[in-house]
């Protein structure tokens, strides 16, 4: 988890600078090498070092892939692709539990090697996956853009010039926002293309971006702490530990099936609030049932069911955050911001294994802490702008204007100027 914290901060920034595909494929290949090496670690020190290196590489696989997927599809179908990605995540955990069950009588080294070999599948991506068009356009890679457009037009049997004209119209920078831009980022003339490069200092220097980031950081910390705590403690529940882990993972499928119609009809912010509210409620009930069970099997069973329902809700919230977060930031800051959220969330991941230790001393404490934090996040998410129906922002100027018009911070400013409750509520819902 410490490795993932560091990797999330560096891999995400690197992805914004050198490209999503490059970082993703390199991280996959190195994960294959170091993952297999872990299976041959001769002592604990070597094991710890190699695990740390793996932790650094994991965000390089996950974060660029998630951002690339969002940048590949239009707003109307983007949430479908994110749900499919979450479904593959859950399927991976299901497969892992099955492999672990089959290899339970063998050394853990065999499980490590088998799971590492799944990174071989990513080698296929080198041949079939192109770089993100949005990243190429914003960074002035016009030759690569032309090559991909030619490939797309040939595969889909459409006119190349018409395709480029449509894309150019879509990606043109607004003259009102950027008066210095005399031409489109898609123009392949000999003029020097203006490319905006952002860093973590960009977040610190812009108040609106910083406030949005801090709110999202806390949301990620809460969801990660709760998700991994429930996942890791599932094996300590009554019954077979492999089956318990399997069931705790399978409930995430239910969350994804619920998430699809919700995202189809409601905004990202609304769905995140609903899932987190459900998580807080179910985890509070699980804690109460367990505390007052006093050996009563019915109460114990209700506590287990409520815990699984809480895990389902947290899994759904995690999935929505993967969609919601990258949509809040501009292209050349998107992966860095996404990575910083992941880095902060790893603090929750580091703390999560100690939830079981705390439960042995104060049985009701972990569930109530998770419940209160989830309910708290439902409140702060109200201050984030809704991203449904909004195309991915390209520049920092677009984002700042968007935050000013739609962010929750406008609520306080509006209240200072207006006394009418109905107008205040309009700004909040808008």
DSSP characters over 11-31: HHHHHHHH-HHHHHHHHHHHH
The string of pLDDT tens digits covering residues 373-416 is 999 999 988 888 888 877 777 777 777 777 776 654 443 443 34
Query: Within a domain: residue 123?
Result: yes
Rounded to whole angstroms, how far apart are CA atoms 350 and 47?
Answer: 18
Q: Half-sphere exposure (CA, 13 Å, Cβ side) for 50?
A: 20
Residues 219 and 178 in one domain: no
In a domain, 251, yes or no: yes
Burial class of residue 208, CB neighbours in 10 A (0-12, 13-18, 19+):
middle
Contact criterion met (CB below 8 Å) for 113 and 39: yes
Same domain membership, residue 150 and residue 82: no
- Whether residues 26 and 145 share a domain: the answer is no
Q: Is residue 366 part of a domain?
A: yes
Q: Which of 305, 291, 287, 312 is nearest to 238 (CA)?
A: 305
The answer to whether residue 42 is domain-embedded is yes
Domain shared by 154 and 275, yes or no: no
* 224 plus 336 within the same structural domain: yes
Residue 44 lies in a domain: yes
Q: Lowest-pLDDT range, 12-26, 225-239, 289-303, 415-429? A: 415-429
Same structural domain, 12 and 158 = no
308 & 218 share domain: yes
Q: Residue 199: its pLDDT value, please?
A: 64
Of the candidates 194, 215, 238, which is a domain's last residue? 194
DSSP type of residue 354: G
Residue 84 lies in a domain: yes
Confidence check: pLDDT of 229 > 80? yes
Q: Which two tokens stand for residue 41?
A: 């670690």
Of 383, 399, 423, the position where a domain reaches its end is 383
3-class SS of residue 348 = helix
Q: What pLDDT, on the 0 to 100 scale, is given for residue 38?
A: 94
CA–CA dist 151, 129 (Å, integer): 12
Which residues span the domain enclosing 149?
140-194
pLDDT of 15 reads 80
Instruction: Round to whole Å and give the CA distance between 279 and 276.
Output: 5
**Which tokens go with 368?**
């109530």
Q: Are residues 379 and 298 in the same domain?
A: yes
* Digit-coded pLDDT (tens) for 47-65: 999 999 999 998 888 888 8
* Judgement on whether residues 21 and 7 belong to the same structural domain of the protein: yes
146 inside domain: yes
DSSP 269-332: HHHHHHHHHHHHHHHHHHHHHHHTTTT-HHHHHHHHHHHHHHHHHHHHHHHHHHHHTGGGS-HH
Q: What is the CATH number of the domain that holds 36?
A: 1.20.1250.20
Q: Is 215 in the same domain as 277?
A: yes
d(CA 293, CA 195): 62
Which of 24-38, 65-79, 130-144, 229-243 has maximum average pLDDT?
Answer: 24-38
Last residue of a domain, one of 194, 221, 240: 194
Q: What is the pLDDT of residue 409?
A: 44
Would you list the DSSP string of 86-142?
HHHHHHHHHHHHHHHHHTTTS-HHHHHHHHHGGGGGGGGHHHH-PPPHHHHHHTT-H
Helix, strand, coil percentages, rounded to 5, for the chain: 80, 0, 20
Count of domains forming the chain: 2
Give the residue with greater pLDDT, 216 vs 393. Answer: 216
User: Quick one: 264 and 167 in the same domain?
Assistant: no
Query: pTM, whole model, 2 decimals?
Result: 0.73
The answer to whether 32 and 60 are in contact (CB under 8 A) is no
Residue 359 belongs to a domain: yes
Same domain, 285 and 362: yes
Mean per-residue pLDDT for 136-140? 79
């Amino acid at each position: 988890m410490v490795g993932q914290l560091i990797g999330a901060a560096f891999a995400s920034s690197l992805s914004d600078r050198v490209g999503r595909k490059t970082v993703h494929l390199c991280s996959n290949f190195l994960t294959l090498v170091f993952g297999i090496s872990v299976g041959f670690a001769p002592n604990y020190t070597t094991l710890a070092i190699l695990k740390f290196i793996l932790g650094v590489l994991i965000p390089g696989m996950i974060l660029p892939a998630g951002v690339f997927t969002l940048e590949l599809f239009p707003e109307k179908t983007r949430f479908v692709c994110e749900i499919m990605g979450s479904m593959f995540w859950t399927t991976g955990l299901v497969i892992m539990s099955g492999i672990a069950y089959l290899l339970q009588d063998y050394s853990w080294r065999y499980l490590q090697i088998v799971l590492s070999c799944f990174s071989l599948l990513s080698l296929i991506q080198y041949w079939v996956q192109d770089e993100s068009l949005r990243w190429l356009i914003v960074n002035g890679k016009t030759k690569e853009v032309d090559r991909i457009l030619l490939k797309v037009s040939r595969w889909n049997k459409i006119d190349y010039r018409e395709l480029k004209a449509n894309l150019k119209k879509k990606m043109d920078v607004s003259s009102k926002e950027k008066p210095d831009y005399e031409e489109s980022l898609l123009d392949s003339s000999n003029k020097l293309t203006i490319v905006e490069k952002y860093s973590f200092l960009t977040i610190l220097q812009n108040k609106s971006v910083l406030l949005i980031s801090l709110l999202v950081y806390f949301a990620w910390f809460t969801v990660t702490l709760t998700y991994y705590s429930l996942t890791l403690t599932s094996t300590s529940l009554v019954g077979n530990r492999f089956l318990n882990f399997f069931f705790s993972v399978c409930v995430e499928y239910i969350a994804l099936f619920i998430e699809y119609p919700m995202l189809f009809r409601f905004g990202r912010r609304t769905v995140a609030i609903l899932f987190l509210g459900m998580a807080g409620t179910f985890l509070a009930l699980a804690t109460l049932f367990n505390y007052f069970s006093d050996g009563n099997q019915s109460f114990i069973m209700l506590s287990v069911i409520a815990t699984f329902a809480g895990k389902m809700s947290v899994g759904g919230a995690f999935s929505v955050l993967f969609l919601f977060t990258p949509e809040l930031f501009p292209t050349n800051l998107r992966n860095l911001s996404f990575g910083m959220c992941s880095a902060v969330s790893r603090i929750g991941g580091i703390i999560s294994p100690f939830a079981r230790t705390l439960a042995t001393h104060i049985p009701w404490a972990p569930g109530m802490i998770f419940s209160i934090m989830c309910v708290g996040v439902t409140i702060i998410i109200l201050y984030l702008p809704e991203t449904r129906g909004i195309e991915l922002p390209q520049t920092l100027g677009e984002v700042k204007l968007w935050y000013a018009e739609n962010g929750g911070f406008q609520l306080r400013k509006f209240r200072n100027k207006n006394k009418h409750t109905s107008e205040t509520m309009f700004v909040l819902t808008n």
